[in-house]
Structure 1
Amino acid sequence: MRKNSGLQGVYSPVVTPFDATLEPDSWLFVRHCRWLVEQGVGLAVFGTNSEANSMSVGEKIDLLDALLDAGIPAARLLPGTGCCALPDSVRLTHHAVNHGTPAVLMLPPFFYKNVSDDGLFANYAELIQRVADDRLRIYLYHIPQVSQVGFSLSLIERLLAAYPQTIAGVKDSSGDWDNTQAMITEFAADGFSVFAGSEPFLLQTMRAGGAGCITATGNVNPAAIVRLHQSWQDEDADMQQSALNAVRGIFQEFPMIPALKAAIAHYGASPDWVRVRPPLTALSQTQQHSLVERLAAHGFSMPGL
């Protein structure tokens, strides 16, 4: 029987603030992470919505250190450490493990397309051997519509067979419920944690035996998403899910990362949050006003921010 860290709950791929020179703003970052932890959300820093692939390994290490130095519990962190270059993945993963994070979330090396399962297996095998730490727990990050490189069920099965103590779970951001359900059916009984990639799939995931969700809108609507995760067996669970879907739908009317930042800027009275690092572009003033109006009409708020 496999044994692993078995993470559960709601995690946010924390958006990264940038200052006027487009350098990461560690003070704003720590402040937002503190608010998220207060709402009961785990911190999947350096995810897609963190603009992680527009950041250097050194910048990520510095931000991780800033969180830990500020007293953010390492146990609340699930840092993204998957890079295109194997040495970068090893360096970032090693740093995270050495600083007490319970697990890491790993994209596959995604620059080369149409790579084989043999090649992906070799990448993870080499990384595990180089990190060489029994504490390492890896959550695979499956987002094939973006990365164009994904994890087949057979590859997951092969990784689990070879590294049963290390391969701990998956974030399925494919948006394909049949795939998420298949991962749960095939692997969850043995302790493999399956996270949906967005909260519209949260209730289905919990009812099927999954672990929770790792979702962009955890940055802005954390308490409501956490509540559903904790009360998914209650009579009002479907109503809660519908309310979450409505908020998510508003954000999806805009480019997601700039919209998340615009909301944080507005509700946190911190205009510096609107910045994104190129090649992304911020919402226009018209878009920002439209987003805020749509959210206000829905009664949305971010209390305590």
Structure 2
Amino acid sequence: MDRPIAGVFCASVTPVTADLAPDHAAFVAHCRHLIEQGCDGVALLGTTGEANSFSGSERKALLEAAVSAGIAPDRLLPGTGVAAWSETVDLTRHALSLGVTRVVMLPPFYYKGISDDGLFAAYAEIAERVADPRLKVVLYHIPQFSGVPITFPVIERLRARYPDTFVGIKDSSGELNNMLALVERFPNFSVLAGADPLMLPLLRQGGAGCITATSNLVASDLAFIFRNHADPAKAAEVDAAQARVVAARTRVSQFAQIASIKTLLARSTGHANWANLRPPLLPLTAAEAAEL
């Protein structure tokens, strides 16, 4: 099966300084650590990365910092989808100007209850205006946050008109059956799990990997699972790694997930600033942090 994008991609958190500015140096160091741990790439500026709490200029500067520091552009999958499709075009063009050809794209998410025709029109407008054959888009299906589900008919229409552009989907609905149905219906399309524990069962049915939050903490286990899930000789090791992934995901789900991941990174790195979040998100309380 030809999967245009495959592997373990970390839905990276975004470090911020005490005055809540993006911390470029800490982010670059985190990217390097994730790649050393076995991640195939870093999906920055998504939900876990607090993307919608950053301006367009801040998002561009973070991506520029990563590329300027030597993180290979083909290792980066920035989130470029915002409520205004014209700004999505701008962020996507900016990524391409840096040699970053793969992006993760939310649907326009402010208006709810939009038709399939409307959603298709928005994505088509973006593709037409970016007009760059290098572009590879991973659609971002997270209806519990966006309020705008990406339906199968919309994917079908986008694949028919732009088969070389819309090449995959990050499914963060948490519904394995939906992911498996996507694999079955859309050959040569990368279906990536948005929840860490679901990567393994998805891989076993033809999935392409994951873009997940807990990979900030257990990247090496996810990478081991991805590379060895089909090897019967490694079955016990894969099961053990999967158990650690599930335990880590359960751990960071006791309290607010992003704050929990950042709290644990602050502890593991020794840098207290990792615990900072941009309002309206807040750090864990002292009691929550202690229990975590």
Q: CA deviation at 1:98?
A: 2.0
* Correspondence for 2:253: 252
- Indicate the residue corresponding to 2:240 in structure 1: 239
The one-letter code matched in structure 1 to 2:235 is: E
Post-superposition shift, 1:243?
Answer: 2.4
User: Would you say the 8 A contact 2:221–2:242 is kept in 1?
Assistant: no
Matched, 1:290 2:291: yes
CA distance in 1 between counterparts of 2:18 and 2:249 reads: 29
Task: Report matched runs for 1:1-305 at 5 Å.
Answer: 6-41=4-39, 42-187=41-186, 189=187, 191-233=188-230, 234-236=234-236, 237-291=238-292
How far the C-alpha of 1:18 sits from its partner, in A, is 1.2
Shift of 1:17: 1.1
Q: Which amino acid aligns with 1:130?
A: R
- Give the TM-score of the pair, scaled to structure 1: 0.92
Alignment partners' CA distance in 2, 1:102 and 1:87: 18
Cα displacement (A) at 1:9: 0.6
Q: CA deviation at 1:101?
A: 1.6
Residue 242 of structure 1: how far off its partner (Å): 2.3
Shift of 1:97: 1.5
For residue 248 of structure 1, report the CA deviation from its aligned partner: 1.1
Q: In the aligned structure 2, how far is the partner of 1:142 from the partner of 1:117? A: 14
Which residue is 1:303 aligned to? none
How many Å apart are 1:224 and its aligned residue?
Answer: 0.8
Q: Helix, strand or coil for the counterpart of 1:34? A: helix
**What is the letter of the counterpart of residue 272 of structure 1?**
N
Q: CA deviation at 1:241?
A: 1.8
The worse-fitting range, judged by mean Cα deviation, of 230-239 and 11-20 is 230-239
C-alpha RMSD of matched pairs (Å): 1.3
C-alpha deviation, 1:38, in angstroms: 1.1
Q: Which SS does the other structure have where 1:18 is aligned?
A: coil
Question: Partners in 2 of 1:243 and 1:14 — Cα distance?
Answer: 19
How many correspondences in the alignment? 287
CA deviations over 1:240-284 (Å, ceiling 9, x no partner): 322211121111111000001001100000001111000011011
Q: Deviations over 1:199-250 (max 9, x none)?
A: 1101111111010011000111111111111111232233332221112111
Shift of residue 52 of structure 1? 0.2
* Secondary structure of 1:79 counterpart: coil
SS in 1 for 2:199: helix
Gaps of 5+ in 1: 292-305
Give the deviation of 1:162 after TM superposition.
Answer: 0.8
Amino acid in structure 2 at the alignment position of 1:18: V
Q: Distance in 2 between matches of 1:247 and 1:132?
A: 41
Amino acid at match of 2:99: G
Residue aligned with 1:286, SS? helix
Partners of 2:267 and 2:96 lie apart in 1 by 35
